[in-house]
Amino acid sequence: MTRLFRPPQPLVVACSSDGLPCRVKAGGKARQVTAVTETWTQHALPDGRSPDRTFYRVIVDGRAPWDIYHTPDGDWYLLRIIT
């Protein structure tokens, strides 16, 4: 089952020296990213309505994968939790 967030939920993300997420804070609770299993980029639409987004599938606290992304402005969001 997948929990899809519409709209995506804002996150506070800390990155390691290699630029990958290492901690996320959602709903006031800080959590450890234990693995980054995938990364991909979704490029902006030709009409400019949606900016480039870099996605990460991360394992949080050794549990379910989360799909998170950031925009070129540095804002982070939680898109889905896969259970």
State pLDDT tens for residues 23-81.
999 989 999 999 999 999 998 878 767 788 999 999 999 999 999 999 999 999 999 99
Q: Which residues lie across from 66 on neighbouring strands?
A: 58, 81
pLDDT recorded at residue 26: 92
In this prediction, residue 1 carries a pLDDT of 87
Burial of 55 (0-12, 13-18, 19+ CB in 10 A): middle
State the pLDDT at residue 13.
98
pLDDT band at residue 3 using 50, 70 and 90 as cut-offs:
very high
More confident residue, 11 or 83: 11
Q: How many whole angstroms separate alpha carbon 82 and alpha carbon 34?
A: 15
Cβ-contact 36, 22 below 8 angstroms: no
If we measure between CA atoms, which residue out of 1, 7, 6, 18 comes closest to residue 56?
18
